[in-house]
Structure 1
């Protein structure tokens, strides 16, 4: 991936936070001090730009997940919780409460976001099974846990409900995982 592509996608994220979907290619051009022609050399249109930005974001999530998995200072339950609500540091400032706009205006892009949320659970599944086998958390069907988490995240992203609260997306995720994990932890 070219450095120009990365800069454009980072700018898309910044502009999305400020303007929602109302930013234009002109806004990107002005923000980066580059021509629109340069943007169109990298991306054919706004749809392609959004698809690439989704992939870019989920790649960053996978990198953060790898850091969590390698962190020996975290116990099993902490790793599970952090994996489920994993957000890369550079994405913590994104106003995810605006993502519902994508569902309405760019349904194919939203569908891709939903698909990415529903995949790549292998490491989390493995850790959940390990925690259940060790008696650290109660035994529940892993697909049920996965459905609960995915359902909550999709509700956060796919509706305006979260934007009507005082909670940021990160606060909502952390509250969700706290509720789920405290319901799963075996009280001794």
Structure 2
């Protein structure tokens, strides 16, 4: 991927962080000190740019996931928890609580995000199976765990409910995975 393309996608992320869906291509060109014509040499239109940025972000997520999987200082349950909720560093500041806005204005982009959330589970499923086999998590159907996590993430992204809370998207993900891994029961019984 050319560095100009990557710079443009980084600027899209930056502008989304600052303005949500209200940013314009002028904002992107101003941030990079390039002309809109240069942007349109790399991307045919705003939709193509958004789709490429989503794919770019999920590629960064896979790289972050690989780092977690290779980290021998983490036990298997910690790896599992971190892999499920990992966010690449350049996405940590994105207010994912606003992604629901894409559903109506940019359905193709929203669908791409949803599709990417639902795919690429191979490494996570392998970790789940290993954790079950080694007795670290209960032997429950992996598909049910997967659907529970996908359902929570999809709900976080598809409604404005989360944006009405004081929790960031990352805090919400961490709370969700804590509930999935540890349940909601307290030690008081």
Q: What is the TM-score when the length of structure 2 is the normalising length?
A: 0.95
- The Cα of 1:183 is off from its aligned counterpart by 2.4
Q: How does 1:149-160 map to 2 (within 5 A)?
A: 149-160=149-160
Does 1:88 pair with 2:91? no
Within 5 Å, give how 1:122-161 maps onto structure 2.
122-161=122-161
Let me know the Cα RMSD of the aligned residues.
1.2
Partners of 1:135 and 1:166 lie apart in 2 by 36
Task: State how far apart, in whole Å, the 1-side matches of 2:120 and 2:105 are.
Answer: 26
Give the drift of 1:101. 0.9
- Name stretches of at least 5 consecutive residues in structure 2 with no aligned partner: none
The equivalent of 1:173 in structure 2 is 173
TM-fit CA distance, 1:89: 1.6
Residue 183 of structure 2 aligns to a residue whose secondary structure is: helix
Question: How far 1:23 moved relative to its partner?
Answer: 1.0
Q: Report the Cα distance in structure 2 between the residues aligned to 1:88 and 1:58, rounded to whole angstroms.
A: 8
Aligned to 1:14: 14
TM-score, reference length from structure 1? 0.96
Query: Whole-Å Cα distance in 2 between the matches of residues 38 and 63 of structure 1?
Result: 28
CA distance in 2, matches of 1:135, 1:20: 43
* Structure 2 match to 1:30: 30
- In structure 1, stretches of 5+ residues that fail to align are none
1:39 aligns with 2:39: yes
- 1:57 and 2:61 correspond: no
- The CA deviation string for residues 129-151 of structure 1, in whole angstroms up to 9 with x for no partner, is 11111111101100000000000
